[in-house]
Chains A and B, each alone.
Chain A
């Protein structure tokens, strides 16, 4: 019989589980029910009190609850997080380990799998199979989809965010078993987070809409001049009015590194596609972007797609978008901003 361990961790408050962790609790509960497996949930938190509070959201999951607690686990760090998860896995004697595919556990899960003599697969988007585990994931940057399985155990599976609903059981008192861990030598100090863009935070993972700015925004316009400042104002105006998250093509972001006239709020973190991110938003609007394949692979999880482009033969028209408006994005965005502002007022 399989023993499933779900690895979770506390959020920045230290006393609640992250949304991604709760999504994996749902995945673990579903998988355990299907396989007739036992379920254990492991919590990494900065304090015993924090772990106990976080665990109050879990009693209805019907799982054994384990926790690793201590100030050393307040910040994500390879040495300490790997030691914590290794201890949880050994305590649970898990044959299958599920974990959220966020930055914290992505950094350490493979190392932990190796320490336990196990194997790992990441970016899992679905778990299927009747009495086995069949994991679906993408290859070649979301261009090829595969379903795989393994006989070897322990098997670590990191699931992408948004693949399951967050667990929302009846809260109540929970019994948490604290697991002891021997801390390794700590050579890394985490000093905090830094937002790279000046002023406005343009990346909003929870936004319903993704707005993608392509290189056309900084190219010469019909008057023979580039209008980067105006483009920046229009794009920021759209983000303010719509609450959208900002993405970009590689070509536009790269212009900044080459010292050209650019949009100052764009960084490589905004880059979508082959060498950028693959965000999850319900809708996506591309502007001044050719829709080349290396960029569009980053749109794999965008359900509804529209584009505004002056090129009637751009990549978006070839089955990559639902609607393509052949028009000037400067004019269209200005009018959209006016309408959105009026609607808000």
Chain B
């Protein structure tokens, strides 16, 4: 048998990027207006992590993928109906708040406790996957904190590629400045990989995978434990939309030569 991996993917749910977002402040702190009725999707970079995890597990027989997701149960159910068609996984849902304003340290504590309690998870085979940043808070710290809490000292962020070797070691490509990748070789699991885009396109919906996932999905959602997130002293002084609406000049009556001349002057002007 090759490398048996236990891959845990941490993935939140976020408002569909095409939705208009309006921040509001309530008694519990800031949030989004009509947050619970905004259409939601799986966090894009975490979705890349899930697809990479599924592909990696498929190449290494005996491997398993868990998807750990924290969010309101009803929203999780809605999003998982789509996600479950694309990749095979066992869902580990946690019923909790949605959004970008809860403290990342509290979120990480809940996720780490949940992962540590997954039955059958072998931590010596653990690859902890997730997005390197979420599309909500976008802090890029939650996965790192979960890794620390689980005692994992090999962490990689902005990952675009993993190449598993026969001896169990793997090569990782991490995004660094200047459009380059840092290339590292890790001796093997356990490790944390915060994914950027990866190299895989979004898988097509596969009803067979969907049916297999459904056997676990609904019972897991029914049993989802509820988590409350502490603020840890985090206080928001203001939350607002940026005031950057521009007055756009739409130019329809210039020839390509005239436009080019205008652009060259603009490019050259300091």
Taking CB atoms, residues of chain A closer than 8 Å to B261 are 339
Q: How far is the CA of A343 from the CA of B268 in the complex (A)?
A: 10
Contact B263 A103 (CB under 8 A): no
Q: Is A216 an interface residue (CB 8 A)?
A: no
Q: How far is the CA of A242 from the CA of B233 in the complex (A)?
A: 48
Q: How far is the CA of A308 from the CA of B251 in the complex (A)?
A: 10
Find B155's partner among A107, A144, A334 (CB 8 Å cutoff): A107
Residue of A nearest to B155 (CB): A78
Contact A274 B135 (CB under 8 A): yes
* Chain A nearest Cβ from B157, distance in angstroms: 5
Given contacts A189-B184, A196-B179, contact A140 B21 (CB under 8 A): yes
Taking CB atoms, residues of chain B closer than 8 Å to A177 are none
Q: Is A114 an interface residue (CB 8 A)?
A: yes
Taking CB atoms, residues of chain A closer than 8 Å to B157 are 103, 106-107
Q: Is B237 an interface residue (CB 8 A)?
A: yes
Contact pattern, B 148-188, Cβ under 8 Å of A = 1, otherwise 0: 11000111111010000000000001111111111111111
Residue of B nearest to A258 (CB): B201
* Chain B nearest Cβ from A291, distance in angstroms: 10
Contact A343 B264 (CB under 8 A): yes
Contact pattern, B 239-259, Cβ under 8 Å of A = 1, otherwise 0: 111100111111110101101
Tell me the count of chain B residues lying within 8 A, CB to CB, of chain A: 89
Which of A51-59, A166-174, A202-210, A226-234 lies at the interface with chain B? A202-210
Which of A23-31, A89-97, A321-329 lies at the interface with chain B? A321-329
Contact A144 B197 (CB under 8 A): no
Which of A40-48, A65-73, A147-155 lies at the interface with chain B? A147-155
Taking CB atoms, residues of chain B closer than 8 Å to A106 are 140, 157
Find B267's partner among A147, A209, A332 (CB 8 Å cutoff): A209
Q: How far is the CA of A201 from the CA of B257 in the complex (A)?
A: 29
Contact B178 A203 (CB under 8 A): yes
Tell me the count of chain A residues lying within 8 A, CB to CB, of chain B: 104
- Give the dominant DSSP class at A's interface: mixed
Contact B248 A110 (CB under 8 A): no
Q: How far is the CA of A115 from the CA of B44 in the complex (A)?
A: 29
Q: Is A21 an interface residue (CB 8 A)?
A: no
Q: Is A237 an interface residue (CB 8 A)?
A: no
Contact B138 A141 (CB under 8 A): yes
* Chain A nearest Cβ from B264, distance in angstroms: 5
* Chain B nearest Cβ from A330, distance in angstroms: 9
Q: How far is the CA of A285 from the CA of B266 in the complex (A)?
A: 10
Q: How far is the CA of A326 from the CA of B258 in the complex (A)?
A: 12
Given contacts A149-B235, A268-B196, A305-B246, contact A332 B260 (CB under 8 A): yes
Which of A1-9, A119-127, A217-225 lies at the interface with chain B? A119-127
Q: Is A199 an interface residue (CB 8 A)?
A: no
Contact B148 A110 (CB under 8 A): yes
Q: Is B117 an interface residue (CB 8 A)?
A: no
Contact A197 B179 (CB under 8 A): yes
Taking CB atoms, residues of chain B closer than 8 Å to A109 are 141
Q: Is B100 an interface residue (CB 8 A)?
A: yes
Contact B186 A188 (CB under 8 A): yes
* Chain A nearest Cβ from B130, distance in angstroms: 13
Residue of A nearest to B190 (CB): A187
Q: Is B74 an interface residue (CB 8 A)?
A: no
Contact B181 A325 (CB under 8 A): no
Taking CB atoms, residues of chain A closer than 8 Å to B242 are 142-145, 300
Contact A271 B259 (CB under 8 A): no
Q: Is A195 an interface residue (CB 8 A)?
A: yes
* Chain A nearest Cβ from B14, distance in angstroms: 8
Most chain B beta-carbon neighbours within 10 Å: one of A111, A196, A204, A276: A111
Find B259's partner among A185, A258, A308 (CB 8 Å cutoff): A308
Contact pattern, B 127-156, Cβ under 8 Å of A = 1, otherwise 0: 000000001111111101101110001111
Contact A275 B197 (CB under 8 A): yes
Q: How far is the CA of A325 from the CA of B250 in the complex (A)?
A: 6
Contact B154 A78 (CB under 8 A): yes
Q: How far is the CA of A212 from the CA of B180 in the complex (A)?
A: 19
Q: Is A77 an interface residue (CB 8 A)?
A: yes
Q: Is A178 an interface residue (CB 8 A)?
A: no
Taking CB atoms, residues of chain B closer than 8 Å to A162 are none
Q: How far is the CA of A76 from the CA of B239 in the complex (A)?
A: 35
Cross-chain pairs A/B with CB under 8 angstroms, 30 sampled: A77-B184, A103-B175, A110-B142, A123-B138, A139-B101, A139-B138, A141-B17, A141-B138, A143-B242, A144-B21, A144-B32, A145-B241, A146-B23, A146-B239, A147-B238, A150-B234, A152-B232, A188-B186, A191-B184, A196-B179, A201-B178, A242-B267, A283-B266, A300-B242, A317-B250, A321-B246, A323-B249, A325-B251, A325-B254, A335-B257
Give residues in B with beta carbon < 8 Å to A. 14-15, 17-18, 21, 23, 30, 32, 44-45, 100-101, 103-105, 135-142, 144-145, 147-149, 153-158, 160, 173-188, 196-201, 232-242, 245-252, 254, 256-257, 259-264, 266-268, 270
Give residues in A with beta carbon < 8 Å to B. 76-79, 82, 102-104, 106-111, 113-115, 119-123, 134, 138-152, 184-185, 187-197, 201-205, 208-209, 242, 254, 257-258, 267-271, 274-276, 283, 285, 292-294, 297, 300, 304-306, 308, 312, 316-328, 331-332, 334-336, 338-340, 343
Closest 4 pairs (CB-CB, A-B) = A203-B179, A335-B260, A110-B141, A268-B197
